[in-house]
């Protein structure tokens, strides 16, 4: 049964977006960007480059890969390619999300900007809340949520830059690990047993494939877990029919 649309005024949509983002999402994004800022300083990034990475690359895996390749002395093409592959999850996210907020938008540049602002936090929150928001105000919800999230990402990066000299290795490593743990909890909280099954399969395959191929283990575990869960549930639904 479809959820009833209960938010039909822009003010109420704004309040909902602020209430949704002012909690775990801003805490998680600020801590992970603080951890990345400390890591990036260790490999030779300056403050301005860290801030540009925060709002430009946005996804933490791509940022970490960029820092590691920079430290290893890799060329520009290799760094761009590796960072893009590490953040490849944004492609299907954008493809599935942007049609939900494109009504009335005639500017391609604005669509690209909204794609750039998208993160797993905002994507997951929009998936949960959009059924209860009138279609003409869904874009407003996303823009409010994402703008606040990006602001706190910058604040977190600035805090990491400021505290870098006093932060031990274990501390900023722990900050970086907050991110995947939170993502796992986000997916576990989403509706549908297929999502939970894919997460469990990926969690089991991840360590095993990492021992076999550290460079590709994470990618294979993610693609394999999602694909296997999809076909298992497709077969299960077919048997039910």
Return the minimum-mean-pLDDT range out of 74-83, 204-213, 215-224. 215-224
Q: What was the pLDDT predicted at 145?
A: 95
Residue 227 has pLDDT above 50, yes or no: yes
pLDDT digits (tens, 9 = 90+) for 34-44: 888 888 888 88
Identify the residue with better confidence: 183 or 35: 35
Q: What was the pLDDT predicted at 1?
A: 42
Q: How far apart are CA 81 and CA 58, in angstroms?
A: 15
Q: What was the pLDDT predicted at 144?
A: 95
Average pLDDT score over the chain: 82
Query: Structural domain boundaries of the chain?
Result: 10-179, 192-241
Return the minimum-mean-pLDDT range out of 19-23, 204-208, 221-225. 221-225
Residue 175 near residue 153 (C-beta atoms within 8 A): no
Residue 206 has pLDDT above 60, yes or no: yes
Q: How far apart are CA 124 and CA 183, in angstroms?
A: 10
H-type alpha helices, the chain: 10-21, 24-42, 47-56, 60-71, 76-86, 90-97, 108-117, 120-129, 138-163, 169-188, 193-212, 217-240
pLDDT digits (tens, 9 = 90+) for 63-121: 888 888 888 888 888 888 888 887 887 888 888 899 889 887 888 899 999 988 998 88
pTM equals 0.75
Q: What was the pLDDT predicted at 183?
A: 65
């Amino acid at each position: 049964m479809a959820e009833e649309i209960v938010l039909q005024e822009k003010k109420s949509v704004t309040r909902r977006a602020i209430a949704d983002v002012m909690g775990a999402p801003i805490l998680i994004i600020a801590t992970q960007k603080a951890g990345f800022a400390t890591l990036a300083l260790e490999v030779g990034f300056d403050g301005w480059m860290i801030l540009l990475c925060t709002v430009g690359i946005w996804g933490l895996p791509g940022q970490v890969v960029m820092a590691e390749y920079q430290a290893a002395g890799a060329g520009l093409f290799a760094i761009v390619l590796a960072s893009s592959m590490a953040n490849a999850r944004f492609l299907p996210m954008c493809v599935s999300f942007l049609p939900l907020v494109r009504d009335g938008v005639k500017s391609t540049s604005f669509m690209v900007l909204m794609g750039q602002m998208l993160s797993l936090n905002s994507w997951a929150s929009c998936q949960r809340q959009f059924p209860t928001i009138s279609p003409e105000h869904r874009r407003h919800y996303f823009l409010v949520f994402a703008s606040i999230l990006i602001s706190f990402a910058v604040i977190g990066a600035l805090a990491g830059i400021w505290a870098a000299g006093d932060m031990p290795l274990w501390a900023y490593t722990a900050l970086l690990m907050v991110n995947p743990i939170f993502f796992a909890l986000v997916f576990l909280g989403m509706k549908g047993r297929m999502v939970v099954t894919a997460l469990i399969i990926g969690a089991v395959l991840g360590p095993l494939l990492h021992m076999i191929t550290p460079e590709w283990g994470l990618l294979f575990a993610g693609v394999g877990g999602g694909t296997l869960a999809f076909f298992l549930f497709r077969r299960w639904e077919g048997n039910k029919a």
